Chain A
Amino acid sequence: EAGVAQSPRYKIIEKRQSVAFWCNPISGHATLYWYQQILGQGPKLLIQFQNNGVVDDSQLPKDRFSAERLKGVDSTLKIQPAKLEDSAVYLCASSFSTSGSAPYEQYFGPGTRLTVT
C-alpha cells in the first residue's frame, strides 16, 4: 500500500514570496490533515478536511495560509506571503475514519521542509 506522498521535500524561499505544498493521501482515506512542525516542537494541526469539507481550521493563520481539497483526494497548502517564522516542516497526514469515530490511526507523509530567508 502506497503511503502519503508529499512534494516538494524541500523548499527555500525569501520572505514575502509565495509557496505551495502538495499532498496525496492514502487511497480511500476520507480525512486529511496538515500540520506545522517547528524545529524542536511537536506537530501543530493547521487544518483538517473530511472528504472535501473543512472540519477544523481554527489554528490556520488565514491571513496568509490557505488550503484546499477540491475533489476530496489530494490537497494543496499555500502560504502567501511567507514570513521568517513560517520556516518549519509541513506534514500531511491521512486517516480512514470518518468524523465522529475515534480512535483512529493517522499516517504521515515525510513532510516538506520550508526555509524562509
Chain B
Amino acid sequence: TQLLEQSPQFLSIQEGENLTVYCNSSSVFSSLQWYRQEPGEGPVLLVTVVTGGEVKKLKRLTFQFGDARKDSSLHITAAQPGDTGLYLCAGTRGADGLTFGKGTHLIIQP
C-alpha cells in the first residue's frame, strides 16, 4: 500500500502552460516536502510545508498543504523546459525518515 499517492504519474505539456500535481494520503503528516529529481542525480528539496492550510511560493511554483495535513499540491505557472523532471512529495511524522510518493514525471516541451 502506497502511503502517499501522487497524480498524475506522467504529464507532458507545452511551454507556457500551467499545471498542478497532487499528493494525497489517508495519513496525517507533521510536515510534507516536495523534491525535484533529475536523471542521474539525487532529489533536491524545493519546499517544506508544516502548517495545515499553508501556502508557499517559490517563483513560479506554488505549494499548498491541506488543512488536515493529509494532502498537498504543487502548481506551476507558465511552465518552462527547465521545469522538466521528477517531482516527488515526501512526508514525515516526527523524526522518522521520509516516506516518498512514486513521483510525477513532468516534461515541458518547447
Contact A110 B31 (CB under 8 A): no
Q: How many A-B residue pairs have CB under 8 A?
A: 64
Q: How far is the CB of B91 from chain A (nearest CB, A)?
A: 10
Q: Report if B25 contacts A (CB, 8 A).
A: no
Q: Report if B68 contacts A (CB, 8 A).
A: no
Contact A103 B48 (CB under 8 A): yes
Q: Report if B43 contacts A (CB, 8 A).
A: yes
Interface residues of B (CB under 8 A from A): 4, 6, 30-31, 33, 40-45, 48, 50, 88, 90, 92, 94-103
6 residue pairs of the A-B complex, CB under 8 angstroms, read A4-B42, A33-B98, A42-B101, A56-B97, A110-B40, A111-B42
**Known contacts A42-B90, A102-B30, A102-B95; can you find 10 more A-B pairs with CB under 8 A?**
A42-B4, A42-B102, A43-B88, A45-B97, A45-B98, A48-B96, A56-B97, A103-B48, A106-B98, A108-B43
